[in-house]
Amino acid sequence: MNPTWQAEMVAMIRGAKPLSGDLFAGSATLTGEEQIAIYAEQYRLRLWDAFAEEVPGYLALAGDAGEAVVWAFLDAHPPGHWSLGRIADGFADWLASHGAPVEHSEMARLDHAVMSGFLGADGQTPRPEQLADALTGSLRLALQPHVQLLALTTSVQRTRSVWSLGGAQPAVVAGTFLVAVYRVDRAMRHVELEPGAFAALGVVARGGTLADAVTAAVAAEPERAAGRLSAWFASFVERGLVQIAP
């Protein structure tokens, strides 16, 4: 067989090439073209189910129009990873670069943070008294692998929360929302952070020291940081947002 037969077959299945029965023997009841069409149909059913599981917030927000958008993305970016759980990787950025409403791309980003956090590892959470060691530099902190920080310009996190609890979807409003998405036991949560807390966690996420994180927090909120630092860092530990750097 032509060495490119697998690529040709995959292209037919995902709709990138017209179906052809040239490679296939057919059967008593099906032509070769009808045979490959079965796989093409299953491909669309399987991918749609998987994608819908990954971006429930986006699809709830986008409504009926969302399906065509999803297929436009999948046609341009067919799944390339062995895990179907990675099927929506890059979707939020793709939406943002293809003129989608900002709340749509931000909801997709939030969906992705929730789904990837759900399967993320658990690092060792520091004890509150270990924060002093972190300040002196003898202990390094990092974000827990299941935590993602999102600087949002729309209130999609509030919309998703209400919707996921079964309520009517509230309108998305514009604003600045600094959000940490994280996991508690086996459930995903999010918390809206104050600017200083968000800045401090951002430094931790980039591998900075706790001293650098404090500096960033003070720079973000010069008036309030001094009085809030202890509470912020205590909440990072209490919520399990940080780990002892591996």
Partner 1 sequence: MVSRFHVPDLGIGVGFRRPHFAEVVEGRPAMDWFEVIAENFMVDGGSPLYFLDRLRAQYPVVPHGVGLSLGGAHDADHLARLKRLADRLDAPWVSDHLCFTGTADVRVHDLLPLPYTRAMADHVVERVKRVQDTLGRPFAIENASSYLTYKASVMPEWEFLADVVERADCGVLLDVNNVYVSAMNHGFDAHTYLDAVPADRVVQIHLAGHSVKAKYRLDTHDGPVCDEVWALYQRVIHRIGSVSTLIEWDDQLPSFARLQEEAALARRLRAEALA
State yes or no: residue 238 binds partner 1 (CB under 8 A). no
Choosing from 17, 20, 42, 151, the residue that interacts with partner 1 (CB under 8 A) is 42
In the complex, minimum distance from the CB of residue 123 to partner 1, in angstroms, rounded to a whole number: 9
* Rounded distance between C-alpha atoms, residue 72 and residue 91, angstroms: 10
In the complex, minimum distance from the CB of residue 243 to partner 1, in angstroms, rounded to a whole number: 12
**208 and 175 in contact (C-beta within 8 Å)?**
no
**58 and 66 in contact (C-beta within 8 Å)?**
yes
- Which range binds partner 1 by CB under 8 A, 78-86, 148-156, 159-167, 192-200? 78-86
Q: Which residue has the tokens 């697998």?
A: 6
State yes or no: residue 171 binds partner 1 (CB under 8 A). no
State yes or no: residue 39 binds partner 1 (CB under 8 A). yes
State yes or no: residue 120 binds partner 1 (CB under 8 A). yes
As to burial, measured by CB atoms within 10 angstroms (0-12 exposed, 13-18 middle, 19+ buried), residue 158 is middle
Strands 141-143, 148-154: parallel, antiparallel or unpaired by DSSP?
Answer: unpaired
Choosing from 19, 48, 67, 85, the residue that interacts with partner 1 (CB under 8 A) is 85
Q: Which residue has the tokens 């490119």?
A: 4
Torsion of CA 148, 152, 158, 163, to 10 degrees: -80
In the complex, the residues that contact partner 1 under the rule CB under 8 A are 1, 5-7, 9-10, 13-14, 23-25, 27-30, 32, 34-36, 38-39, 42-43, 46-47, 50, 78-85, 117-122, 145-146, 183, 186
